[in-house]
Amino acid sequence: MAFQRETEALGQVAGRLGWDQETMMPRGAAEQRSDEMSAMEGVLHARRADPRIAGWLAQADPVDAVAAANLRHISRSYQRATKVPAALAQELARVTSIAQGIWAEARAKDDVAAFLPTLAEVIRLRREEATCLAQGGDLYDALIEDFEPGATAASLGAMFDAMRPRLVALREAVLGATYQPVKLEGHFGQEAQMRMARDLATAFGYDWERGRLDLAVHPFSSGSGDDARITTRVVEADPFNCFYSTIHEVGHACYELGIDPDYRLTPLGSGVSMGVHESQSRIYENQMGRGRAFAGWMFGQMQGRFDGLNIPDADAFYAAVNRVQSGFIRTEADEVHYNLHVMLRFDLERALIRGDLAVGDLESAWNDRFRADFGVEVMRPSQGMLQDVHWSCGLFGYFPTYSLGNVYAGCLNVAMRRDVPDVDDHLARGDATPATAWLRENLQRHGGLYEPREVVALACGFEPSEGPLLDYLEAKFRAIYRL
């Protein structure tokens, strides 16, 4: 395991380079950083595909479940690495590093044309990689495997097909309701927002001795073990953007920080999949953070920090926090619309990878689909295909894990409230400890010990499905909108 520990440590160093690129790196360093990322990927790829690993795996005799799980992850990584040429892996690292800066500038200028050639190159490289991995199978399935082992486009598509009718019906009912919550309005300064964001992170158990909070164009979490960092962003007219982005990323970071320390710098020392990861960020953000109990505590906090709130009481604030509207931005979307945003991306990126959609037609395809799904016309690219960082990073196959995480979170919420019936009494005081302790004990501490669906089923005591999430959404929003 000494060899593997060094590989895991180098992977963490590569992640830190990515964190720096999005938070602290001077803009002029982008080209050099892409070479650094390429070089690091070359080192990591060589280690992951080291021919000695095959012999070590053949000789290994796991003595317990932990050893067997480590071998499972090492074998999966080795099989993947040996299928992808080192030169391709390095070129992907180099191009996606540069692409993030090009995307950020194009987004700021609403200039799709400036991004399309780079996006086309990213897609070309990812399709080449997927061809190596799929070995005659479905290219998109091969990419999904990187983020959610065991999931396929077919299984995710079936999940979306089951979710869409109830989500659309709920949306129509809510948007047509007589009662509509008041929107929070005003000017909320950056410094005050960041102070409250730090307090929110503390309320959800974020360990400041092993983490930090910074600003980024697109909020993210990075790292594991004893170093799990988070970022957020500030819109001075919309503090919920900052507050709920922060809580979301705290969920990711707390998952990493909550893993059994014995697994540190082993294949078990990180979250097992992005779907399970998203279950943590989404249950922190939504079932807890947007719940009536915690929203009531937040209202009191905001009254003490921001003058002239246009929201009269805690009930109206809870409704404002959960206000449903056909907005453009996925990360700002309410719970009713959020999964519809993901479905749009799932269908478009699957078509891009399969070659059914040309990159040059992506903007019009996005805008047409958005109009059909949301009934709103996209007015500028930063509201549409340029809003997310994922495609510049080459993260094709990642988006559906957001909805899978919502599904897992719906199941975990049922189980948590079954086992911790007084959880809302604590959340109403700004104390998420009983909830986060349950999640840490039943899911987070296991890291990569189990397969994704297996660890959720073990935590819940039942097989995960979309039913609990949809039941939760219908009950919550029908009550808020007095339907």
Is the sign of the CA dihedral 238, 242, 248, 251 positive or negative? Answer: negative
Instruction: Name the phi and psi angles at 232, rounded to 5.
Output: -145, 180
The token pair at 166 is: 């109830």
Taking the C-alpha atoms of residue 382 and residue 179, their distance in angstroms, rounded to an integer, is: 31
The token pair at 413 is: 């919420």
pLDDT value of residue 1: 76
pLDDT in tens, the chain (483 residues): 789 999 999 999 999 999 999 999 998 999 999 999 999 999 999 999 999 999 999 999 999 999 999 999 999 999 999 999 999 999 999 999 999 999 999 999 999 999 999 999 999 999 999 999 999 999 999 999 999 999 999 999 999 999 999 999 999 999 999 999 999 999 999 999 999 999 999 999 999 999 999 999 889 999 999 999 999 999 999 999 999 999 999 999 999 999 999 999 999 999 999 999 999 999 999 999 999 999 999 999 999 999 889 999 999 999 999 999 999 999 889 999 999 999 999 999 999 999 999 999 999 999 999 999 999 999 999 999 999 999 999 999 999 999 999 999 999 999 999 999 999 999 999 999 999 999 999 999 999 999 999 999 999 999 999 999 999 999 999 999 999
User: H helices of 176-313, where?
Assistant: 190-203, 239-257, 274-282, 292-305
Neighbours of 461 (CB within 10 A): 12
Report the candidate in 169, 292, 281, 288 with the shortest Cα–Cα distance to residue 232: 281
Taking the C-alpha atoms of residue 429 and residue 421, their distance in angstroms, rounded to an integer, is: 15
Taking the C-alpha atoms of residue 293 and residue 25, their distance in angstroms, rounded to an integer, is: 40
Q: What CA–CA distances, in Å, run from 57 to 1, 49, 145?
A: 11, 13, 21
* Sheet containing 221-224: order of strands: 213-215, 227-232, 221-224
Dihedral angle over CA of 196, 199, 205, 207, nearest 10: 100
Amino acid at 454: E
Taking the C-alpha atoms of residue 242 and residue 220, their distance in angstroms, rounded to an integer, is: 12
Q: 321 with 290: CB under 8 angstroms?
A: yes
Taking the C-alpha atoms of residue 268 and residue 28, their distance in angstroms, rounded to an integer, is: 37
Taking the C-alpha atoms of residue 317 and residue 77, their distance in angstroms, rounded to an integer, is: 47
Which of 249, 256, 278, 349 is catalytic? The answer is 249
Structure pTM? 0.96
Report the candidate in 282, 380, 298 with the shortest Cα–Cα distance to residue 331: 282
pLDDT value of residue 217: 86
Neighbours of 207 (CB within 10 A): 14
Verify whether residue 249 is a known catalytic residue: yes
Amino acid at 103: W
DSSP conformational letter for 288:
I
pLDDT value of residue 331: 87
Taking the C-alpha atoms of residue 127 and residue 349, their distance in angstroms, rounded to an integer, is: 11
Report the candidate in 280, 279, 287, 291 with the shortest Cα–Cα distance to residue 321: 291
Tokens 């992506």 correspond to what residue? 362
Amino acid at 206: Y
**Measured between alpha carbons, how far apart are the two ends of the chain, in Å?**
58
Strand, coil or helix: what is 84?
Answer: coil
Beta partners for residue 228, in sequence order: 223
Instruction: Name the phi and psi angles at 235, rounded to 5.
Output: -120, 115
Taking the C-alpha atoms of residue 100 and residue 387, their distance in angstroms, rounded to an integer, is: 12
The token pair at 217 is: 């164009």
Q: 305 with 196: CB under 8 angstroms?
A: yes
Report the candidate in 261, 256, 260 with the shortest Cα–Cα distance to residue 277: 256
Determine which helix (DSSP H) or strand (DSSP E) holds 314, and give its type and residue range. helix 314-321
**What is the pairing mode between strands 213-215 and 227-232?**
parallel
Q: What CA–CA distances, in Å, run from 120 to 107, 109, 140, 343, 442?
A: 16, 19, 16, 22, 42
- Residue 214 CB burial class (10 angstroms; 0-12, 13-18, ≥19): middle
Amino acid at 304: G
Q: 133 with 84: CB under 8 angstroms?
A: yes
The token pair at 103 is: 């995307």
Neighbours of 63 (CB within 10 A): 8
Report the candidate in 432, 153, 412 with the shortest Cα–Cα distance to residue 293: 432
**The Cα angle at residue 417 between residues 225 and 467, in degrees rounded to 5:** 95
